[in-house]
């Protein structure tokens, strides 16, 4: 496992634009400035569960073709925030969102936005690998089939491409018809990444994707993230600070505030900045304490 030296990206690089030109007509496709195109613009986001404020004051910009990491102690709401980005919190009864979460200028929680459309564009990889109890092929083909692609030859092409993209093709190409559950944990997680890539999303959300994996499998997933960020925008939740330092371009540090009156815990964003700065010269004391291991 490499230390952070060569993995670090000092300044976010200009986003490669050549492929997105093909599909888009909008203004975002102009050569990106140094800071890159903003994909998500989060302003004063709060998440409430049955009226109780679980997370508050989240202000983040997510930049195209970067890896943004959410870090912080457990229970600080980083996963909760992540699940707002594809409206996964809709599934939790009593969950509500305040503030704005704009995706290319459109608030995802606007009335006429369909969560299914959101999830079609913004993929997700979960903490625990969750391949369907189907064959490897069917796992990857599931999303494209939903999107209306029925032809076997086209599905073959997509599946191969997604599996290659997730760096698992060589391991599974001879057993595409075997169950996805027969793979190792790391392979399962890469299969899930392939499954997410197969529908060609713009963004991939990763919720502690390596927490159930051994270091070698973790290393492969991290390499993979480095590779696919040229094509996708990635947000990753991790409680592993080294991982955040290794893979991310920007970092958001969350922590928990305890209300002294009600004893309620509310997650809040402390600092959001380039990863290098966060780990070398954070502006908030709490961040420093956390990244240096004095807290958390």
Partner 1 sequence: MTAVNLNDLDSSTSLVEGLDSTKGSGPDKVFRWAAFGAGLMVLVILALITITTAQAAWPAFSVEYFTSATWIPSAQEFGMLGFLWATLLISFIGILLAVPVAVGIALFATEVAPRRLRRSITTVMDLLAAIPSVVFGLVGFYVLRAPAQDLFRWLGDVCAGIPILNRIFGEGSSGTSILMAGIVLSIMILPIITSISREVFDTVPRNDKEGALALGATRSEMINGVVIPHSLGGLTGAVMLGLGRAMGETIAVTLLIGGVSNPPITIDVLSASDAMPSAIARYLSESAGTYRAALIGLGVTLFIITMIINVLSRKVVGVFDRRIKGAA
Partner 2 sequence: MTATQTRSSVDERLKVPRDVRVSTIKGSRFRRNRIATIGMVAAFVLAAIPLLFVIGNVVVKGLPVVTTKFLVSDIPNNAAATELSSDCDTLRKYDPTAEGDDAAPVEKPQPGMGRAVVGTLITTALAALFAIPLGILAAIYLNEYGKQSRLARFIRFMTDVMTGVPSIVMGIFIYELWIVRFGFPRSALAASLALACLMLPIVVRSSEEMLKLVPNTLREASAGLGSRTWKTTLKVVLPAALPGLVSGSMLAVARAAGETAPVLFTIGAINKVAAAKTITGQSTTLSLQIYNMITNGGKLSPQMAWGAAFTLIAIVLILTTIARTVSARFVAR
Using CB under 8 A, list all residues that contact partner 2.
Answer: 16, 19, 22-24, 26, 28, 103-104, 106, 108, 110, 112-114, 116-118, 120-121, 144, 146-149, 154, 157-158, 161, 164-165, 167, 199-200, 202, 227-228, 230-231
70 contacts 237 by C-beta, under 8 angstroms = yes
Does 119 engage in binding with partner 1 (CB under 8 A)? yes
Please identify, using beta-carbon distances, which residue of 53 and 87 lies nearer to partner 2.
87
63 binds, among partner 2, partner 1, none (CB under 5 to 8 A by kind): none
With CB under 8 A as the contact rule, the residue among 58, 67, 124, 291 that binds partner 1 is 124
Helix, strand counts (H, E) of the chain: 11, 10
Does 133 engage in binding with partner 1 (CB under 8 A)? yes
96 binds, among partner 1, partner 2, none (CB under 5 to 8 A by kind): none
**Taking the complex as a whole, how short is the minimal distance between the CB of residue 227 and partner 2, in angstroms?**
7
37 contacts 249 by C-beta, under 8 angstroms = no
67 contacts 236 by C-beta, under 8 angstroms = yes
Does 190 engage in binding with partner 1 (CB under 8 A)? no
String of DSSP letters for 165-203: HTT-HHHHGGGTTSBGGGS-HHHHHHHHHHHHHTT--SE
**Taking the complex as a whole, how short is the minimal distance between the CB of residue 139 and partner 2, in angstroms?**
17
Does 11 engage in binding with partner 1 (CB under 8 A)? no
**Taking the complex as a whole, how short is the minimal distance between the CB of residue 86 and partner 1, in angstroms?**
6
Please identify, using beta-carbon distances, which residue of 39 and 176 lies nearer to partner 2.
39
Give the Å distances, CA to CA, from 275 to 4, 63, 152, 246, 249: 11, 13, 43, 9, 5
Does 132 engage in binding with partner 1 (CB under 8 A)? yes
Distance CA 158, CA 199 (A): 9
239 contacts 74 by C-beta, under 8 angstroms = yes
291 contacts 279 by C-beta, under 8 angstroms = yes
What is the distance, to the nearest Å, from the Cα of residue 167 to the centroid of all Cα atoms in its chain? Answer: 18
102 binds, among partner 1, partner 2, none (CB under 5 to 8 A by kind): none
Distance CA 144, CA 152 (A): 11
Listed ranges 141-149, 248-256, 267-275, 283-291: which one lies at the site for partner 1 (CB under 8 A): 141-149
**What residue ranges bind partner 1 (CB under 8 A)?**
86, 88, 91, 93, 116-117, 119-120, 123-124, 126, 128, 130-134, 142-143, 146-147, 181, 192, 195-196, 199
């Amino acid at each position: 496992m490499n230390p952070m030296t060569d993995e670090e990206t000092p300044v976010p690089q200009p986003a490669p634009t050549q492929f997105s030109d093909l599909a888009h007509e909008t203004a975002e496709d102009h050569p990106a400035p140094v800071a890159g195109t903003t994909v998500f613009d989060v302003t004063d986001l709060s998440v409430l569960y049955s009226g109780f404020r679980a997370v508050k004051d989240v202000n983040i910009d997510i930049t195209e073709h970067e890896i943004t990491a959410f870090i912080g102690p457990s229970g600080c709401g980083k996963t909760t925030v992540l699940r707002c980005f594809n409206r996964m919190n809709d599934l939790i009864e009593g969950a509500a969102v305040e503030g704005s979460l704009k995706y290319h200028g459109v608030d995802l929680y606007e009335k006429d936005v369909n969560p299914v459309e959101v999830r079609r564009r913004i993929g997700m990889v979960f903490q625990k690998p969750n391949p369907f109890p189907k064959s490897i092929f069917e796992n990857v083909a599931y999303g494209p089939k939903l999107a209306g692609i029925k032809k076997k030859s086209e599905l073959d092409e997509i599946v191969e491409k997604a599996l290659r993209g997730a760096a698992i093709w060589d391991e599974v190409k001879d057993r595409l018809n075997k169950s996805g559950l027969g793979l190792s944990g790391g392979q399962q997680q890469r299969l899930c990444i392939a499954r997410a890539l197969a529908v060609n999303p713009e963004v991939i959300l990763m919720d502690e994707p390596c927490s159930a994996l051994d270091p070698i499998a973790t290393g492969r997933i991290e390499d993979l993230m480095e590779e696919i960020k040229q094509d996708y925008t990635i947000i990753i939740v991790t409680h592993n600070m080294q991982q955040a330092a290794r893979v991310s371009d920007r970092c958001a540090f969350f922590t928990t505030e305890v209300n002294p009156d009600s004893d309620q815990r509310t997650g809040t964003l402390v600092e959001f900045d380039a990863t290098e700065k966060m780990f070398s010269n954070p502006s908030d004391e709490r961040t420093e304490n956390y990244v240096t291991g004095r807290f958390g």
